[in-house]
Amino acid sequence: MRYAHSVEAVRAAERELMARVPEGTLMRRAAGGLAAACAGMLGRVYGRRVVALAGSGDNGGDALYALALLARRGAGVTAVLLAPDRAHAGGLAAVRAAGGRVIDAGAGGGAGGGSDGGSGGDAADGSEGGAAGVSAGDAAGAAIARADLVLDGIVGIGGRGGLRPDAVRLAAAVRASGAAVVAVDLPSGVDAETGETAGEAVRADATVTFGTYKPGLLIDPAAQYAGAPRLVDIGIGPYLPAPVAEALQDADVAALLPAPTGESDKYRRGVVGVVAGSARYPGAAVLAVSGALRGGSGAVRYVGSAGDAVIARFPEALVSAGRPSQAGRVQAWVAGPGLGREEDARAVVAEVLAADVPVLVDADGLAVADREAIRARRAPTVLTPHAGEAAALLGVDRADVEARRLEHVRRLARELDAVVLLKGSTTLIAAPDGPVRINSTGTAWLSTAGSGDVLSGLIGSLLAAGLGGRDAASVGAYLHGLAGRAAPVPFGAHELADRIPLVRPEGTGGR
């Protein structure tokens, strides 16, 4: 599991630990882990050109100390200071002592234009600049253009708002240079708490973060700027409270995924009821049933008017055209995909919500479900809106939901006392309490018609197998995302379900 904590929690834990260890210990640990990660990315350190962009805070300090460590291993290093008179004194001294070159981000004028010309550094001669947005005489631009690796230490958890003009210029030069980019703690310009970006942000290939993940590192759009996130343990773990967010990894999914055993029968594996599709949208029924079958359920009971379409594709499905309450034993219901919003849809959703088994409500089901009926339920309830559906349920604009997804998914879960899965490029799953689960396995190719219908059936099968709402929704989103990655692109939603068995983590195949 990847756990994420708020900036406030990180700061408090840091204070607790700092009171117990010698001064500078945390930054030394951070910089050591950062330098090791950089060395790993470079493969060979000796002779490589490394540039650190260092802002005025401790994030810049981390970058400078790491740069000094890389210089000691033979890299040609250049520190680019955004605020030369306020740069981290210890970090700067370390770079100088290691023979690094130090230049001022604002200085033009080519070689010697820096605030200091170190001896062992990579003496870029300024004339080789030429990265977009950077004048040829710009010493910083020239160093960046020639770098193998750039460390982004402009700003970390102390950052407020978007990048400032100097930093914007450097970020553009970095993007144009082709150097590998490692963000220190966070890509500069992204919001640590929410994953929002205000204007420009640094695009990294990897982010080395300290102590714990920050929510913004795992949530889009920031997650797309962070590249591969890595965690360096600096010892604050024992002082951190419960996380605000977490992201399942393969091992977590493997531990949660049910698999049949020798004693299994269809009811132990779980029977899913699907109330979906209509004369107008029979395909939604077929897709939801496909997800339910491939999710591992023991049997699927389909109830509705698209039974012929379902049976034509899945002869193993048990279909009926009656009412959900007369369908026979069901251990979880999926209600809503392609159901329409007529009076009849309202009635069948109400009937499903009244059942004392787990229920997932999606799509049209969300539009016709009675809020009080949702709130009154005692068995697990999972709602799977996209941003527009969540906005309608909350009575806010869709743009508000999209801009602050974390806040809105939490609010909806609390208001409706249910597990809410908010679809998006990073899908978020919130229960009324506890950490928000972030799913990072998705791909933009999944935004295709019917993809959500497959997801609802898949989650329904996990609910029927006995997983709780939060686990069923997050494991379902995880597998659905991987299935999207495994399918040749572009794909139609009908191709998704067949990929689910292929992406189950190792060891979950059952016997």
Q: 85, 126, 80: which is closest to 102 by C-alpha? A: 80
Interaction site with ligand NPW (CB under 6 A): 10-11, 14, 26-27, 30, 55-60, 62, 154-161, 163-164, 167, 184-185, 210-211, 234, 236
For residue 414, the minimal CB distance to ligand NPW (Å) is 29
446-479 burial, b at 16+ Cβ within 10 Å, e below that, comes to: bebebbbbbbbbbbbbbbbbebbbbbbbbbbbbb
Q: Which is nearer to K ion, 34 or 276 (CB)?
A: 34
- Residue 160 annotated as lining a ligand binding site: yes
Quickly count helices (H) and strands (E) in the chain: 21, 18
Distances (CA, A) of 137 to 13, 126, 134, 151, 372: 44, 5, 8, 22, 67
333 binds, among K ion, ligand NPW, none (CB under 5 to 8 A by kind): none
Report how far residue 491's alpha carbon sits from residue 317's, in angstroms, rounded to the nearest whole number: 24
- Residue 191 annotated as lining a ligand binding site: no
Between residue 158 and residue 217, which ones bind K ion under the rule CB under 5 A? 183-184, 188
SS3 content of the chain, % helix, strand, coil (to 5): 40, 15, 40
Contact 480, 455 (CB under 8 A): yes
Take residue 293 and report the two structure tokens written for it: 């079958």
Beta-carbon contacts of residue 44 (< 8 Å; ≥ 6 apart): none
For residue 153, the minimal CB distance to ligand NPW (Å) is 7
Q: Which is nearer to K ion, 227 or 476 (CB)?
A: 227
Q: Which is nearer to ligand NPW, 184 or 217 (CB)?
A: 184
For residue 199, the minimal CB distance to K ion (Å) is 15
Q: Which is nearer to ligand NPW, 66 or 300 (CB)?
A: 66
152 binds, among K ion, ligand NPW, none (CB under 5 to 8 A by kind): K ion
* Stretch of 88-96, 116-124, 144-152, 393-401 lying at the interface with K ion (CB under 5 A): 144-152
* Stretch of 4-12, 111-119, 149-157, 414-422 lying at the interface with K ion (CB under 5 A): 149-157
Distances (CA, A) of 17 to 1, 26, 243: 23, 9, 18
Q: Which is nearer to ligand NPW, 89 or 399 (CB)?
A: 89
113 binds, among ligand NPW, K ion, none (CB under 5 to 8 A by kind): none
236 binds, among K ion, ligand NPW, none (CB under 5 to 8 A by kind): ligand NPW
Secondary structure class of 54 (helix, strand, coil)? strand
For residue 61, the minimal CB distance to ligand NPW (Å) is 6
Secondary structure class of 149 (helix, strand, coil)? strand
Report how far residue 272's alpha carbon sits from residue 462's, in angstroms, rounded to the nearest whole number: 9
Distances (CA, A) of 99 to 48, 60, 71, 118, 294: 14, 18, 7, 6, 60
391 binds, among K ion, ligand NPW, none (CB under 5 to 8 A by kind): none
68-92 burial, b at 16+ Cβ within 10 Å, e below that, comes to: bbbbbbebbbbbbbbbbeebbebbb
Q: Which is nearer to K ion, 166 or 364 (CB)?
A: 166
Neighbour count for residue 342 (Cβ, 10 Å) = 11
Q: How many chain residues are in contact with K ion, going by CB under 5 A?
A: 5
Contact 440, 461 (CB under 8 A): no
14 binds, among K ion, ligand NPW, none (CB under 5 to 8 A by kind): ligand NPW
Helix 405-416, helix 387-394: angle, nearest 10: 50
- Residue 112 annotated as lining a ligand binding site: no
Q: Which is nearer to K ion, 63 or 257 (CB)?
A: 63
Contact 216, 191 (CB under 8 A): yes
- Residue 301 annotated as lining a ligand binding site: no
Contact 50, 38 (CB under 8 A): yes
- Residue 156 annotated as lining a ligand binding site: yes
- Residue 426 annotated as lining a ligand binding site: yes
For residue 488, the minimal CB distance to ligand NPW (Å) is 40
- Residue 109 annotated as lining a ligand binding site: no
Q: Which is nearer to K ion, 171 or 339 (CB)?
A: 171
Q: Which of 138, 152, 193, 389 binds K ion (CB under 5 A)?
A: 152
435 binds, among K ion, ligand NPW, none (CB under 5 to 8 A by kind): none
451 binds, among K ion, ligand NPW, none (CB under 5 to 8 A by kind): none
55 binds, among K ion, ligand NPW, none (CB under 5 to 8 A by kind): ligand NPW
Q: 179, 171, 159: which is closest to 77 by C-alpha? A: 179
The verdict on 63 binding K ion (CB under 5 A) reads no
Q: Which is nearer to ligand NPW, 164 or 414 (CB)?
A: 164
In this structure, the dihedral spanned by the alpha carbons of residues 93, 191, 437 and 498, taken in order and rounded to 10 degrees, is: -100
- Residue 61 annotated as lining a ligand binding site: yes
| Residues in binding site for AMP | 423-427, 452
Residues at the site binding K ion, with contacts judged by CB under 5 A: 152, 156, 183-184, 188
